[in-house]
Amino acid sequence: MTLPTHVKLLDVGPRDGLQNEKANVATEHKAQLVAMLQDAGLTEIEVTSFVSPKWVPQMGDNAAVMAAIERKPGVRYSVLVPNMKGLEPALASRPDEILVFTAASEAFTQKNINCSIAESLERFAPVIEGAHAAGVKVRAALSCALGCPYEGDISADQVEAVVQPLRALGVDAIDIADTIGVGTPRKVQAAMARALKHFPLAEVSGHFHDTYGQALTNIYASLELGVHSFHASVAGLGGCPYAKGATGNVASEDVVFMLNGLGIETGVDLDRLVDAGAFISGVLGREPVSRVARAVLAKRG
């Protein structure tokens, strides 16, 4: 089986990671993290979220962060936009891409964004239109695509039932997100296959959580289908909101180590990535959650 020769890695640490950390990180430290990530070779970075600071105070400095980053040619910066209210300030911050999110689980969508899946799609329509009118690409995250903290198992049929209308709405790219980390290779391949029925190969990403240690295997299983776009969070920033003390986003360092071993190009320098993770972990006052980072730092002594 031939694997892809290149992988596009999107680091979600500054947004998805820091949003789920208790500590409030200073704007300048967020900008420095972005700088270190792009210096390490990342070309896709999820920077911040234009959600209400009432709900997510950690992202209250969204516009300031976007203003503070030093944009590097060839790097694409994305921001999360939950609704029309967030669209205007988001577009004003000049992102290359916006991220909207829904879920494959009805129960999760109700609890997380307080509406049905169908209603979440209706809300997307003007957001997508507005972004496209401004020449900004729209990516959709499909949370709970492998399992739900409330519903349990999620089937490939449920995945496709949301993927299809997302594409019909004009969404450019889709993230198959294993929000609680319960996916295993065959189930991941089944979900990915459904996404690939509706989106081009280059526009389907895997967003895996390592809560049960399965993320790298799920990336490998996705590579076997030709998928070559993945999300990861430097230093494993974020944790798991559904199980205190458990792991959340897969660590970027661990993903890069595997891809290096497989001879797959990412353009990322592992040592500098470890530096970026060590920096932000220092700001948070803890160790990186990445196994690779720990091993590399232990070897550095």
What residues act catalytically? Answer: 240
Structural contact between residues 230 and 9, judged by C-beta atoms closer than 8 angstroms: yes
Collapse the DSSP code of 278 into the 3-class scheme (helix H, G, I; strand E, B; otherwise coil) and give the result: helix
DSSP 236: G
Is 184 an interacting residue with respect to a copy of itself (CB under 8 A)?
yes
Q: How far is the CB of 290 from a copy of itself (least distance, A)?
A: 7
Among 19, 34, 210, 229, the residue binding a copy of itself under the rule CB under 8 A is: 210
Q: Which helix (H) or strand (E) holds 164?
A: helix 156-168
Say how far apart CA 275 and CA 295 lie, in whole Å: 13
Among 58, 214, 233, 252, the residue binding a copy of itself under the rule CB under 8 A is: 214
Among 56, 140, 182, 268, the residue binding a copy of itself under the rule CB under 8 A is: 182
Is 295 an interacting residue with respect to a copy of itself (CB under 8 A)?
yes
> Using CB under 8 A, which of the segments 40-48, 86-94, 164-172, 285-293 binds a copy of itself?
285-293
Structural contact between residues 283 and 25, judged by C-beta atoms closer than 8 angstroms: yes
Token pair 């070559």 is at which residue? 228
Is 22 an interacting residue with respect to a copy of itself (CB under 8 A)?
no
Among 165, 185, 226, 241, the residue binding a copy of itself under the rule CB under 8 A is: 185
- Amino acid identity, residue 275? D
Collapse the DSSP code of 115 into the 3-class scheme (helix H, G, I; strand E, B; otherwise coil) and give the result: coil
Site track for a copy of itself across 223-262, x = CB under 8 A: -----------------x--xxxxx---x--x--xx-xxx
Task: Give the 3-state secondary structure of 38-98.
Answer: HHCCCCEEEEEECCCCCCCHHHCCHHHHHHHCCCCCCCEEEEECCCHHHHHHHHHCCCCEE
Among 15, 187, 194, 228, the residue binding a copy of itself under the rule CB under 8 A is: 187
Q: Kindly tell me which of 198 and 291 has the beta carbon lying closer to a copy of itself.
A: 291
Structural contact between residues 79 and 46, judged by C-beta atoms closer than 8 angstroms: yes
Of 80-139, which residues contact a copy of itself (CB under 8 A)? Answer: none
Is 186 an interacting residue with respect to a copy of itself (CB under 8 A)?
yes
Q: How far is the CB of 215 from a copy of itself (least distance, A)?
A: 8
Is 72 an interacting residue with respect to a copy of itself (CB under 8 A)?
no
Among 129, 151, 217, 241, the residue binding a copy of itself under the rule CB under 8 A is: 217
Radius of gyration of the chain (CA): 18
Q: Kindly tell me which of 37 and 292 has the beta carbon lying closer to a copy of itself.
A: 292
Among 84, 212, 272, 275, the residue binding a copy of itself under the rule CB under 8 A is: 212
Residue 151: exposure state from Cβ atoms within 10 A (0-12, 13-18, ≥19): middle
CA distances from 265 to 216, 217, 256, 261, 269 (A): 16, 18, 9, 10, 10
Interface with a copy of itself (CB under 8 A): 1, 181-187, 210-214, 216-217, 219-221, 240, 243-247, 251, 254, 257-258, 260-263, 290-292, 294-295, 298-299
